[in-house]
């Protein structure tokens, strides 16, 4: 009996040593990431940042540096509210793919079936040399939901398209629902990748088919099932103290803080951008993707085969994720993976080659214009987000911190 007890004691001791060793390594890894985050924010003079790293089931790291604004003294945390802008897009893609699963939408049907204004789209071919007036022609192909989800429709953003800026400087028709100018297509659907207002229209499509506002649809079908209780197009008064301020890079290189103003509810909800969220909430969305569509309690948000489609390159050999800025106050040039050709799935940029010292090949990513970033690495079972809150997008200091953070995550 004594010998048996000694054996059990030795086994218990070995298990305890293994457990303590694992915890010590995790603590050491978290300390390394924390040091990288704090040192990077300080050396790069970034006002604030919050970050999280997780697997499909647990948090590996969370941390935050800075104050909500320059005068309040309120610390930024993983529960602070950030304007995540285009990180809204993967959520909108999820909503659209839920409706595809239900047979209410189809990837290869014309969007005009549900949004009639898409039946008369025109392509901008250039400008008349004599009059400088735009030369427009009817599109030869219809825009499909597939095009919207992959940013191959021809709809673009003026931040990165000089021709659209020139077109909008002249008279352009206005959408009566949004009050915004109606954009022509910059190219024939399916022939190029260029980032644009595609997910804005995908959100309108979700509303038209579901009969709900995008806020209602998201809450019922995505956000509440995932426990994303702090994510919304709206910021209630009792949460306004958690909303962090925004800064703007100045011509002299300094960052100027925007005045803090009360949150104003939008008149409509934009699937291309507009959600407010926290790092902790957004990790729950990414964990759902890692679990191939399941919430933490097992509830299905998406079917596994749908997640497989969303997370596979759908753009063939087209080069994605590279943009030349024409409005440097809003965005610097964008090239997430210099020297490589990345693709796009349904809502995600996908790198076909691994990042040096970072994410695996086949990882998913996107970002928001105020320098909020995320990536999901299915091969390593890992997801991470880094949220800052200043313009311009892809500012060299923001990208520097993102790269340092990513390398520290994988070094750990």
Active-site residues, by number, are: 86, 89, 195
CA atoms within 13 A on the CB side of 201: 29
> For 327, left (φ over 0), alpha (ψ -120 to 50), or beta?
beta
- Output the CA–CA distances (angstroms, integers) from residue 334 to 63, 337, 370, 381, in the order listed: 26, 9, 13, 27
74 DSSP 8-state letter? P
Q: Are 385 and 373 in contact (CB under 8 A)?
A: yes
Going by C-beta distance under 8 Å and a sequence separation of 6 or more, which residues neighbour residue 82?
Answer: 50, 244, 276, 277, 278, 279, 368, 370, 372, 387, 389
Strands (E), 128-168: 134-138
Q: Are 144 and 111 in contact (CB under 8 A)?
A: yes
Tokens of 196: 């644009």
φ, ψ for residue 395 (rounded to 5)? -50, 140
Strands 390-391 and 382-387: unpaired
φ, ψ for residue 206 (rounded to 5)? -60, -45
φ, ψ for residue 132 (rounded to 5)? 65, 10
Going by C-beta distance under 8 Å and a sequence separation of 6 or more, which residues neighbour residue 192?
Answer: 152, 154, 318
> How far is it, in rounded angstroms, from Cα 139 to Cα 144?
12
**Opening angle at CA 339, ends 334 and 345, nearest 5:** 65
Q: Are 239 and 231 in contact (CB under 8 A)?
A: no
> How far is it, in rounded angstroms, from Cα 288 to Cα 108?
26
């Amino acid at each position: 009996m004594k010998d048996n007890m000694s054996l059990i004691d030795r086994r218990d001791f070995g298990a305890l040593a293994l457990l303590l060793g694992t915890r010590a390594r995790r603590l050491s890894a978290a300390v390394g990431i924390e040091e990288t985050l704090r040192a990077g924010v300080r050396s790069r003079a970034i006002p604030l940042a919050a970050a999280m790293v997780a697997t499909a089931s647990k948090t590996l790291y969370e941390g935050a540096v800075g104050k909500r604004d320059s005068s309040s003294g309120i610390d930024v945390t993983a529960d602070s509210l950030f304007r995540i802008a285009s990180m809204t897009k993967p959520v909108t893609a999820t909503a659209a793919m839920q409706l595809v699963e239900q047979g209410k939408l189809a990837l290869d049907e014309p969007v005009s079936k549900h949004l009639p204004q898409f039946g008369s789209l025109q392509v901008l071919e250039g400008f008349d040399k004599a009059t400088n007036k735009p030369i427009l022609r009817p599109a030869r192909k219809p825009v499909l939901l597939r095009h919207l989800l992959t940013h191959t429709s021809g709809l673009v953003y003026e931040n990165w398209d000089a021709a659209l800026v020139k077109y909008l400087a002249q008279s352009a028709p206005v959408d009566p629902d949004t009050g915004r100018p109606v954009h022509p297509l910059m190219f024939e659907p399916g022939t190029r990748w260029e980032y644009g207002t595609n997910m804005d229209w995908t959100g309108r499509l979700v509303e038209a088919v579901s009969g709900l506002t995008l806020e209602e649809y998201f809450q019922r079908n995505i956000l509440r099932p995932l426990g994303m209780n702090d994510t919304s197009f709206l910021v209630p008064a009792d949460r306004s103290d958690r909303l962090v301020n925004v800064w703007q890079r100045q011509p002299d290189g300094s960052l100027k803080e925007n005045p803090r103003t009360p949150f104003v509810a939008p008149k409509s909800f934009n699937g291309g951008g507009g959600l407010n969220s926290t790092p902790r909430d957004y990790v729950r969305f990414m964990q759902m993707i890692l679990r191939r569509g399941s919430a933490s309690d097992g509830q299905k948000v998406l079917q596994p085969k749908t997640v497989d489609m969303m997370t596979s390159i759908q753009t063939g050999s087209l080069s994605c994720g590279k943009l030349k800025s024409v409005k440097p106050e809003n965005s610097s040039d964008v090239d997430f993976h210099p020297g490589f050709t990345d693709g796009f799935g349904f809502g995600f940029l996908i790198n076909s080659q691994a990042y040096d010292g970072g994410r695996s090949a086949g990882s998913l990513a996107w970002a928001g214009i105020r320098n909020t970033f995320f990536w999901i690495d299915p091969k390593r079972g890992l997801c991470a987000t880094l949220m800052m809150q200043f313009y311009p997008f892809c500012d060299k200091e923001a990208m520097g911190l993102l790269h340092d953070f990513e390398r520290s995550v994988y070094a750990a």
